[in-house]
Structure formats: C-alpha cells, structure tokens
Amino acid sequence: MNIAPHRVTHAWILLALLLAVAGCDDDATKPDPEDNDPPAIPAPTTPENVVSAIEVIYNDDVRSPQERLDAYASLLPGNSAPPEEAFIFVFMPADIQNGLPPTWGLNEELAVHRAIFDAQGAGDIHSLELRIVHNPAQDLTPSEAGREGWKQVFATNVYLRLMFDMNNGLEVNGGQSMFLFPPPQEGKFNIAEWRDLPRPSPARSVESSTWGSVKAAFSPRP
C-alpha cells in the first residue's frame, strides 16, 4: 500500500494524480445514498460540537458534495464577519518552509473543500475518514487583547485518511490542531482561527503528512 509520506513540495503533483484517476470505477459495494439517512450533524451550540461536526461532514458519504460544503461553510464565519473574526487557517512552520503559504482565508478554505467533496462525489476519491480526539473547550490561553470571551479546543490527535483508490492515498496520523472560537452569535459558534500544529516531540510522532498539506493538494492555487 502506498500512503504518501510527508513531502509538502509534492502537494501540487498530488492534485494532478487526483485528476489522473478520474476514470476509476466507483466502488460497487458502496451503499446507495438514497437507501441511507444522512448522519446527524451536531448543532454548533458549543465549540466541541463544531469540531464534532467537522468529523461528521468529512465522514459523510450520503449527502451530496454541495450539501456537505454548505454544512462545512456553516461552521466558519461568513464574509460578513468583522475583520477580527474572519476565518484564517494557519499552516505549520515546516509546511511554510516547504512552499505553502503561512495562512489562507475563507475563500481558499471553501474552495479546497469543494474540490475534496466534489472529487469524492465523482469517485476520484475512494474513501475519506477523519477522527479527532480533543480536549474540552476552555478560555483562550494565554488570553489575547481584543479576544475577550474567546474559546479554544485543542485536538490532541488527528487521524485523516484520504484514499484515491484501495492502495494509494494521503494520511495524517498523530496530527494536532487548535481551533479558536469568538463568542457565539445567537447561540452559534464558528471557527475563526484554525492552527495546524506540530507534535511537541517529533521523534515520537507517527505523522506521515499534515492536515494543511492534504488541504493544499486540492488548492486551486497555480
């Protein structure tokens, strides 16, 4: 089995690989979406629910790509959010050193997930699996000026497996992330900042890729 190692400089090649496998047959054993109820997406009434909702949306093989994208977009601040609460994804330093941008915003994040969900809907992604182990939400630590009332959720372990076919794909195993949330609006939490984090002890990490580099493989950037 060929699971791609952590080589971010090859991220754009992976996108070409995705396009090259577009002619692969769909998995005949995959359940017919019409015969299944879509999994329930937790209401974004707590920061923990929002993180759980990401997990549900990634693992959902019943909803259409557009429905999954709409559900995912609902977990992030919209374009009308104030600048201090606008969405930002922060890449790991190692990814930046290998050619990825330091950050990207809402439009890039949604474009990447549209590409992922559309590819899976077309059969170009054989399977997508996400598991997130995280701590309970807590106040932002350390506190930051202008972010009074914000919450954070630390994901202690991220397992993400994206397979192009039965034998080839991308894997994040042992990744970590930090999700930051402004105070809720009308009882709804959104992720305003998402930090992809290295493990504190690289020698013990079993990570073969990063969530950021997996996202970057589907970025429309030239």
Looking at residue 34, what is its pLDDT?
52
Top pLDDT among 12 and 62 is at 62
Structure tokens, 111: 């474009």
pTM of the model: 0.77
Q: H or E element: which one contains 54?
A: helix 47-59
C-alpha to C-alpha distance for 63 and 23, rounded to whole angstroms: 22
Query: What's the pLDDT score for residue 215?
Result: 76
How many angstroms separate the CA atoms of 133 and 52, rounded?
9
Domain ranges in the chain?
Answer: 44-216
Q: Is the pLDDT of residue 185 over 80?
A: yes
pLDDT score recorded for residue 9:
34
Q: Confirm if 8 and 100 have CB atoms less than 8 A apart.
A: yes
Say how far apart CA 210 and CA 215 lie, in whole Å.
9
Question: Of 131, 161, 162, 216, which is closest to residue 21 (Cα–Cα)?
Answer: 162
State whether CATH 3.30.365.10 applies to domain 44-216: no
Burial tier of 215 (Cβ tally within 10 Å: 0-12, 13-18, 19+): buried
Question: Phi/psi class of residue 174: alpha, beta or left (left: φ > 0; alpha: ψ in -120 to 50)?
Answer: left
Q: pLDDT at position 25, please?
A: 43
pLDDT in tens, 156-181: 999 999 999 988 888 888 889 999 99
Average pLDDT estimate for 90-96: 91
Q: What is the structure's pLDDT at 201?
A: 57
47 and 179 Cβ atoms separated by less than 8 Å? yes
Average pLDDT over residues 23-39: 58
